[in-house]
Structure 1
């Protein structure tokens, strides 16, 4: 029973954050949100301050991706809150749960050209699952708790709460504050039983099936159910880039180097918890004659951008369990010994053999694949990898495996650059006992390099490995790329000046020793690797004229 006392809105927000299980708050100081932060710290929440609000928001997104819990961020009114917008957008496109507490001027000053007055609610609305502007401090517990429920149920997403100064500092008796309502036990939405049976029958009759899993499997914490189904059916699996590690990349049903051919040649594709968006070429990456079974928590996604044969609306974990039970019931014959699996295995090995000379190349400047190979060789199996850039993003996708669910981060469906370092900070806060490495391009690292200082101040020994090719994308003879050339930035010196460890690598034989020194430095580190500016990853982007 609470002792009756007079409190303000900031206190009630912080108290509710604690009740919702929040243990970290990502922020940059400023009014009117000072007391949200002070009260949060008083409740035992670790408040982590950043150099730039964008990095704070991206770190909260990275934290959410690793933990499966909403990341929470707050910033000062006007420009401070607007600087959170890019991070909010990346979380929105990634369907990641976040709570954004935007500082705002007094409601009583609206329409009077008040200090930093801007309609933040309308600005955040297109990139939020929901937006709120509480007007009564007593109702903050209700609003904040509702925000968590909205952010984490159905298709997850970020929720924005406008925190106006006069409401934050409004006084109420604590006993008069709203008591939030919560569902302490919640069922999962199962799929239609007849459609589940139809789907299993279709998969059993397929000659060349694949399973393609995305973020919905991660947010549903369905990776164990996914692996059980893959192993029972003997069907090869692929994941969206941000979902690498749902099943270990070295699993016997994993053939990542044969990905493109598998999608083109599949006769049945089971698509679980991911969208037919631009990354899937709007569904066209799967061959036109393939039958498609799609599972999604959001019924509106079923058949979006591509017609499908079976659409099952439901929670990924619940439906994967249903598929497993039905497959067991009918005595599903595993595809493990099929020609399809053998062909994919051969294609995977052939592709690996083709890139092996580059992975072992002694050329100078260093080839990015040699960088990736040597980094891969020194990392722990359960390390967390954040990849950000253009060429290095694609080289990393081709050559850097992940073995643990939630341990792979990258620019995701937004294609946003600058996320790598902030994601690494969020990941290290989430799992301080794991190796956390950000594999960066030099262009993308420059976007949030100031928050290397945040890692130093908060004693977060992350390692940044820079594939420094002196600019944006690869240098291609005969093609004009305005703004491409950045010169060679000494990020290793930046690390040293901010109190971290820095090392420059120009000879491939020095890569592994440098990585090992950085990983054991005990402080945030940057290994700045001079890589070949002409090395060009063979990936295409829909809508891009650059590559």
Structure 2
């Protein structure tokens, strides 16, 4: 089996396990790479050694040697060529999220590179290991006005862990190795390397010992004990599990922690699915009470940003402000804008297990049953209230009805991708993934247009799972042309557009603020399914609630990229209590 195929197979079979894919993890014992030929081969060989199995790109002569390297590679690295470089980077980012090995996007010089900036920024804010490898105008012509001559690294410096130029063919292997090792070290993130065109085509001979995994320090026992001590005094504790729990391979430790402490849990980002839907401790639907009445909130693997009210918890019903505890994969990730009662850093499995050991020893008789039951009762009540919306026969269609029908058709291992504002907010409320690593959304950066790239990556990483892309009609306009990529590469995906003919996330707040709205209307009758059919896929428009379920079943059964264009009520706004800014 090729490297690319074996990576895909392992990603599909083990994404719920703690085991990490990696050639990279074995490099302490691996012999050095002996590299010859053009520098493109050097770059790809090192990337493959770090676990890269897919090369996301849009064709450009500055980077042809990378394509030649993939074609000639014995490892079988797959080339996925797209219609816009943003899709290449979003595809690489989603690959990294799903497989927990680094993604790689190869971008031709100048506008090819700058088209990838938003995707790299999203990876930066999401803490995702990603290599963007760019072409660069020839070194021998630098400063003379060569085509697409731009010094790229300064553009990427603020949104990467490392941004540099590999100045010569002989520098390429070492620079790429250092970049990928940096991307994978805590706290993970994107890196950028460009190579002058003349040097990328040039030949060199070199030997390189690929950098092995960073050995992180053991968590500080005193910090673990302090965290456990805070929890031991809590009457109404809540645990928040975020994306880094998944990315750090700590899902089993998180599940043990929840089950053995009995503390209610709220999940966000790729933390969704760490506790399955219906778990007795999962209280996402009682979030307001949980955060408002908690006396201790333990935040694990996510920043205390706008998604968590900037870390302001407690105070509800006259309660005192909650004490906040933060667990992170590295010290730099600990919040600085909130006074922490305690904290701990390191490998999140080791941190969670260490806190659990101390907590169990100190609090064997602590019972949060009344608090947990109160929150669980609120979850049950919320689910009962949901029923009316999820089954609504309203005309025009209420967006919640789409999710009522979709939930009934989703498998536990379905990968759900959100690319939109209001329509995807409803999904966040009503869809609870069955397993970890199955939810992708724009994350804290809030970047639209990532959907098709993420969907293509999901289809490659999880070939046996359902892949569903939830589109706002605004977001659909940013990337729908890349359905052509899904068609050309044989990647069937179910796409659902919540078509309300508006930028809903902006339209309703602007009305509230000014009494009118501008620059917020789209054409509600746009046939997004027609676009998909024109590109070689299939689809249909839905105008009545009873049509939704049959259309979704046809989409899942089609075996092709299929778009269900649902005409939704433009007057329905997702209820928000804060602007989140």
Within the candidate set 514, 528, 552, 1:491 is matched to: 528
| Superposition TM-score, scaled by structure 1 size | 0.94
Going from structure 1 to structure 2, the CA distance change for 1:2 and 1:129 (only over 3 Å counts) comes to closer
Within the candidate set 183, 204, 207, 2:235 is matched to: 207
Q: Is the 8 A contact 1:137 1:170 kept in 2?
A: yes
Q: Is the 8 A contact 2:499 2:568 kept in 1?
A: yes
1:381 Cα deviation (Å)? 1.3
Deviates more, 1:516-525 or 1:110-119: 110-119
Q: Is the 8 A contact 1:383 1:407 kept in 2?
A: yes
Q: Is the 8 A contact 2:417 2:455 kept in 1?
A: yes
1:541 Cα deviation (Å)? 5.2
Name the SS of the counterpart of 1:171 in structure 2. coil
Deviates more, 1:484-493 or 1:472-481: 472-481
CA distance in 2, matches of 1:23, 1:539: 41
Deviates more, 1:49-58 or 1:313-322: 313-322
CA distance in 2, matches of 1:7, 1:202: 59
- Structure 1 spans left out of the alignment, 5+ residues: none
| 2:373 corresponds to 1:342 | yes
Q: Is the 8 A contact 2:57 2:80 kept in 1?
A: yes
**Count of residue pairs brought into register by the alignment:** 539
Deviates more, 1:387-396 or 1:132-141: 132-141
Aligned to 1:440: 471
Q: Is the 8 A contact 1:421 1:464 kept in 2?
A: no
Within the candidate set 163, 168, 179, 2:208 is matched to: 179
Q: Is the 8 A contact 1:139 1:178 kept in 2?
A: no
1:511 Cα deviation (Å)? 1.0
Name the SS of the counterpart of 1:447 in structure 2. helix
1:332 Cα deviation (Å)? 2.7
Name the SS of the counterpart of 1:362 in structure 2. coil
Name the SS of the counterpart of 2:519 in structure 1. coil
1:501 Cα deviation (Å)? 1.4
Going from structure 1 to structure 2, the CA distance change for 1:207 and 1:3 (only over 3 Å counts) comes to closer
Within the candidate set 363, 366, 380, 2:411 is matched to: 380
1:140 Cα deviation (Å)? 1.7
Aligned to 1:153: 185
1:356 Cα deviation (Å)? 2.0
| 2:140 corresponds to 1:108 | yes
Aligned to 2:56: 26
Name the SS of the counterpart of 1:378 in structure 2. coil
| 2:69 corresponds to 1:39 | yes
CA distance in 2, matches of 1:244, 1:98: 22
1:437 Cα deviation (Å)? 0.2
Aligned to 2:351: 319
Name the SS of the counterpart of 2:208 in structure 1. coil
Q: Is the 8 A contact 2:265 2:282 kept in 1?
A: yes
Q: Is the 8 A contact 1:138 1:178 kept in 2?
A: no
CA distance in 2, matches of 1:18, 1:241: 28
Q: Is the 8 A contact 1:14 1:40 kept in 2?
A: yes
Name the SS of the counterpart of 1:253 in structure 2. coil
Going from structure 1 to structure 2, the CA distance change for 1:314 and 1:83 (only over 3 Å counts) comes to same
- Structure 2 spans left out of the alignment, 5+ residues: 1-30
Q: Is the 8 A contact 2:36 2:42 kept in 1?
A: no
1:420 Cα deviation (Å)? 1.9
1:543 Cα deviation (Å)? 6.1
Q: Is the 8 A contact 1:145 1:180 kept in 2?
A: no
Going from structure 1 to structure 2, the CA distance change for 1:486 and 1:316 (only over 3 Å counts) comes to same
1:125 Cα deviation (Å)? 0.9
Q: Is the 8 A contact 1:234 1:334 kept in 2?
A: no
Q: Is the 8 A contact 2:230 2:342 kept in 1?
A: no
CA distance in 2, matches of 1:457, 1:444: 22
| 2:156 corresponds to 1:119 | no
Going from structure 1 to structure 2, the CA distance change for 1:23 and 1:303 (only over 3 Å counts) comes to closer
CA distance in 2, matches of 1:139, 1:291: 50
Q: Is the 8 A contact 1:204 1:332 kept in 2?
A: no
Aligned to 1:240: 268
CA distance in 2, matches of 1:282, 1:52: 35
Within the candidate set 486, 498, 504, 2:541 is matched to: 504
Please give the residue correspondences for 1:368-407 in structure 2 after superposition, counting only pairs within 5 Å.
368-407=399-438
1:110 Cα deviation (Å)? 2.4
CA distance in 2, matches of 1:355, 1:183: 49
Aligned to 1:362: 393
Please give the residue correspondences for 1:90-105 in structure 2 after superposition, counting only pairs within 5 Å.
90-105=122-137
Q: Is the 8 A contact 1:277 1:305 kept in 2?
A: no
1:119 Cα deviation (Å)? 1.4
Within the candidate set 458, 481, 494, 2:517 is matched to: 481
Kindly report the root-mean-square deviation, in angstroms, between the aligned alpha carbons of the 2 structures.
2.0
Aligned to 1:194: 222
| 2:563 corresponds to 1:532 | no
1:523 Cα deviation (Å)? 0.5
Aligned to 2:106: 74
CA distance in 1, matches of 2:388, 2:306: 32
Q: Is the 8 A contact 1:386 1:437 kept in 2?
A: yes
CA distance in 2, matches of 1:499, 1:189: 52
1:540 Cα deviation (Å)? 4.7
1:166 Cα deviation (Å)? 1.9
1:286 Cα deviation (Å)? 5.3
CA distance in 1, matches of 2:503, 2:373: 39
CA distance in 1, matches of 2:291, 2:245: 19
Going from structure 1 to structure 2, the CA distance change for 1:499 and 1:333 (only over 3 Å counts) comes to farther
Residues 86-133 of structure 1 show CA distances to partners (whole Å, capped at 9, x for unaligned) of: 100110111111000011101232222221111111101111111121
CA distance in 1, matches of 2:306, 2:314: 13
CA distance in 2, matches of 1:457, 1:516: 23
Aligned to 2:456: 425
Going from structure 1 to structure 2, the CA distance change for 1:271 and 1:4 (only over 3 Å counts) comes to closer
1:234 Cα deviation (Å)? 0.2
Structure 1's consecutive aligned runs of 4 or more residues displaced over 6 angstroms after TM superposition are: 1-5
